[in-house]
Structure 1
């Protein structure tokens, strides 16, 4: 898959991961104008909600987002989620390529705690993702209360 190692994608990925930067999400999409390569579509500081608002129902896109949540009264956790978005109006042949392509994206954006494939925005609620992150994160000092 070409396009994943471009300077703008690498910089956006580093910004999302950097505790000192405000950028907390990035979105990759295919651009026909650049030979169907994966390109950086958008970045933002508004978290998961803003990322979900930028998703396109006509496309396959890849989102990468920082999610912070309270672990207990004294600490917070920072986790990263990779979202494979398959818009409900995406063409069938485009959907068929996702299984192979998403593996390449997962390798390029390898530092994620959770990878989720979604076709509906309702599958991308922050509370639900935090519950999944808690389950996958080992010790849960919140007593399983989500």
Structure 2
């Protein structure tokens, strides 16, 4: 495989999914400008805003994030988001590789409620993503208020 199934990536994926670990996001990048191997770039605990700040506008990257939100005063939901990032300054050939590599990444980061194809950091606004997660989740316990 392309490196997406490397032990450190699998461990980070398990950490993001774990209720007992504070890690709530990970980023996978290409090992070099010309290399095809994927590697774990970074993990963090600061949510989608922190993750968005770490994405490189010159790269194609993959990210996985845990998103927690309240349905009402009584309940909280946890959902997972796969982010396919193609920065606005990414080279054409690297962009082309995403269509091939994303399948391998999706196999490894398989459990997610939605996929977000992001080109700009504003595509990762947490409020907008929570609205999409609610719609994908089926039942709307928020009375249609997003």
Task: Compare 120-129 and 34-43 and name the one that shifted more.
Answer: 34-43
Q: Note the alpha carbon deviations across 1:43-84, whole angstroms, 9 max, x for none.
A: 000010110000001100001000000011110000000000
Quote the residue 2:98 is aligned against.
98
1:20-39 maps to which residues of 2 (within 5 A)? 20-32=20-32, 35-39=35-39
CA–CA separation in structure 1 for the residues paired with 2:104 and 2:5:
11
Q: Report the counterpart of residue 74 of structure 2 in structure 1.
A: 74
> What TM-score, normalized to structure 1?
0.96
Within-5 A mapping of 1:44-63: 44-63=44-63
Superposed, 1:11-22 pairs within 5 Å as 11-22=11-22
The residue number in structure 2 matching 1:142 is 142
Separation of aligned partners in 2, 1:80 and 1:60 = 20
Supply the RMSD in Å over aligned alpha carbons: 1.3
Task: Give runs of ≥4 in structure 1 deviating > 6 Å.
Answer: none
Q: Which runs of 5+ in 1 are unaligned?
A: none
**What is the Cα deviation at residue 33 of structure 1?**
8.3
Q: Secondary structure at the match of 2:4?
A: coil
- Report SS of the residue matched to 1:81: strand
The alpha carbon displacement at 1:36 in A equals 3.0
Structure 2 unaligned residues grouped into runs of 5+: none
Q: Which residue of 2 aligns with 1:5?
A: 5
1:83 alignment counterpart: 83
Is 136-145 or 94-103 further displaced after alignment? 94-103
Q: How many residue pairs are counted as aligned between the two chains?
A: 146
TM-score normalised over the length of structure 2: 0.96
